[in-house]
Amino acid sequence: MVVMNDQISSAFGVTKTNSTNVATFKCPDTGYLGFMQNNKPYFFNTVTKRHTTKSEFDVKGMKDLPRVDVHYTTLGIRDLIVTGVQTCASDLRESH
Q: What is the DSSP string of 48-78?
A: -S--GGGSS---TT-SSPPP-------TT-H
- Tell me whether strands 2-4 and 7-9 are parallel, antiparallel or unpaired: antiparallel
The per-residue pLDDT for 46 is 83
Q: Which helix (H) or strand (E) holds 86?
A: helix 78-95
CB 3 within 8 A of CB 36: yes
On whether the CB atoms of residues 25 and 4 are closer than 8 A, the answer is yes
β-bridge partners, 2: 9
Q: For each of the chain's 96 residues, which pLDDT tens digit applies?
A: 889 889 999 888 899 999 888 888 999 988 999 999 999 999 999 888 777 777 787 788 888 888 887 766 676 766 777 777 777 777 666 665
